Amino acid sequence: MITVSSPLDVNRIREDFPILHQRIHGKPLVYLDNAATSQKPKAVIEAIQHFYTSDCSNIHRGVHELSERSTYAYEEARAKVQRFLNAREAREIVIVRGTTEAINLVAQTYGRQRVEAGDEVIITALEHHSNIVPWQMLCEEKRAVLRVAPINDRGELLIEEFERLLSARTRLVALAQVSNALGTVNPVGRVVEMAHRRGVPVLVDGAQAAPHLQVDVRTLDCDFYAFSGHKIYGPTGVGVLYGKAALLEQLDPYQGGGDMIRTVTFEKTTYNTIPYKFEAGTPDIAGVIGLGAAIDYVQGIGMGNIAAHEHELLLYGTEALERIPGLRIIGTAQEKAGVISFVLDGVHPHDIGTVLDQEGIAVRTGHHCAQPVMDRFAIPATTRASLAFYNTFEELDALARGIGRVQEIFGAC
Ligand code: C6P
The model's pLDDT over 27-51, given as tens digits with 9 standing for 90+, comes to 999 999 999 999 999 999 999 999 9
> Ligand 1 centre from 127 Cα, in Å?
10
> Ligand 1 centre from 309 Cα, in Å?
22
Question: Ligand 1 atom closest to Cα of 181?
Answer: 20
CATH class of 10-31+303-410: alpha beta
The CA distance from 120 to 390, in Å, is 42
Question: Which residues fall within 8 angstroms of residue 394, CB to CB, at 6 or more apart?
Answer: none
**Lowest mean pLDDT across 1-10, 156-165, 179-188:** 1-10
Question: Ligand 1 atom closest to Cα of 99?
Answer: 6
3-state secondary structure string across 264-305: ECCCCEEECCCCHHHCCCCCCHHHHHHHHHHHHHHHHHCHHH
Residue 169: per-residue pLDDT: 98
Share of the chain above pLDDT 90, in %: 97
Taking residues 199-205, report their average pLDDT. 98
Q: In degrees, to the nearest 5, what angle opens at C-alpha 241 toward C-alphas 239 and 244?
A: 160
Residue ranges of domains in the chain: 10-31+303-410, 45-300
Share of the chain above pLDDT 70, in %: 99
For a substitution probing ligand 1, which of 33, 124, 203, 231 has the most ligand atoms within 8 Å of its CB?
Answer: 231
What is the CB neighbour count within 10 angstroms for residue 276?
A: 18
Residue 100: per-residue pLDDT: 98
Quick: pLDDT tens for 220-259: 999 999 999 999 999 999 999 999 999 999 999 999 999 9
Residue with CA at minimum distance from ligand 1 atom 21? 36
Quick: pLDDT tens for 91-122: 999 999 999 999 999 999 999 999 999 999 99
For the chain, the average pLDDT equals: 97
Backbone torsion region of residue 123, taken as left when φ is above 0, otherwise alpha when ψ lies between -120 and 50, otherwise beta = beta
Reported as a pLDDT band with limits 50, 70 and 90, residue 413 is low
Quick: pLDDT tens for 347-380: 999 999 999 999 999 999 999 999 999 999 999 9
In the chain, how many H helices and how many E strands?
15, 17
CATH class of 45-300: alpha beta
> Ligand 1 centre from 207 Cα, in Å?
6
Residues with CB under 6 A from ligand 1: 35-36, 98-100, 128, 130-131, 176, 180, 205, 207-208, 228, 364, 368-369
pTM, two decimal places: 0.97
Question: Ligand 1 atom closest to Cα of 127?
Answer: 14
Q: Assign 381 to helix, strand or coil.
A: coil
Question: Ligand 1 atom closest to Cα of 180?
Answer: 16
Inform me whether the pLDDT recorded for 1 exceeds 70: no
Inform me whether the pLDDT recorded for 2 exceeds 70: no
For a substitution probing ligand 1, which of 105, 369, 374, 384 has the most ligand atoms within 8 Å of its CB?
Answer: 369
Residue 349: per-residue pLDDT: 97
The CA distance from 373 to 127, in Å, is 8
Taking residues 172-198, report their average pLDDT. 98
Inform me whether the pLDDT recorded for 5 exceeds 80: no
Residue with CA at minimum distance from ligand 1 atom 3? 36
For a substitution probing ligand 1, which of 33, 100, 127, 128 has the most ligand atoms within 8 Å of its CB?
Answer: 128
Residue 7: per-residue pLDDT: 84
Residue 23, Cβ density class (10 Å: 0-12 exposed, 13-18 middle, ≥19 buried): exposed
Active site residues: 369
- When computed from its CA atoms, the radius of gyration of the chain, rounded to whole angstroms, is 22
> Ligand 1 centre from 106 Cα, in Å?
17
Quick: pLDDT tens for 128-178: 999 999 999 999 999 999 999 999 999 999 999 999 999 999 999 999 999
Residue count (the chain): 413
- Max Cα separation, the chain? 73
- Residue in 196, 179, 195 with CA at minimum distance from that of residue 376: 179
Residue 3: per-residue pLDDT: 59
Contact yes or no for 240/96 (Cβ under 8 A) = yes
- Residue in 13, 71, 9, 69 with CA at minimum distance from that of residue 43: 13
Taking residues 321-327, report their average pLDDT. 98
Quick: pLDDT tens for 18-27: 999 999 999 9
Instruction: Give the H or E element holding residue 12.
Output: helix 10-14
Q: Assign 122 to helix, strand or coil.
A: strand
